[in-house]
Amino acid sequence: MILEKLEIERNRWGPNEGRLAGSIKFKNPTGEVSLILTDKHIQQILEVCADSIVIISKEVATDLTAQTIEQANFKQLSKSDK
């Protein structure tokens, strides 16, 4: 089975406000299976992903910082050329 779709969102109102909810859909040549994900299911998925999320977040922050510094240096160089 191949993962076709994964949706996760936080409930914004109602009795489950603040909890996560979602769905997941798998397909294969003979059909598809869709499941409703509860807050507990999603917490388990996020626990599996947690270490990778931290690593990727740090990489993105480092790249963003480097780009910001490069942009600031470029602006300073442009001003000094005038």
Q: What is the pLDDT of residues 41-76, one digit of tens each?
A: 999 999 999 999 999 999 999 999 999 988 888 777
How many angstroms separate the CA atoms of 30 and 6, rounded?
A: 20
How many angstroms separate the CA atoms of 13 and 10, rounded?
A: 9
Report if pTM > 0.85.
no
CB-based contacts of 39: which residues, under 8 Å, 6+ apart?
Answer: 16, 19, 20, 21
Q: First CA to last CA across the chain, in angstroms?
A: 61
Distances (CA, A) of 20 to 17, 58, 66: 8, 24, 34
Which sequence spans correspond to the domains of the chain? 2-80
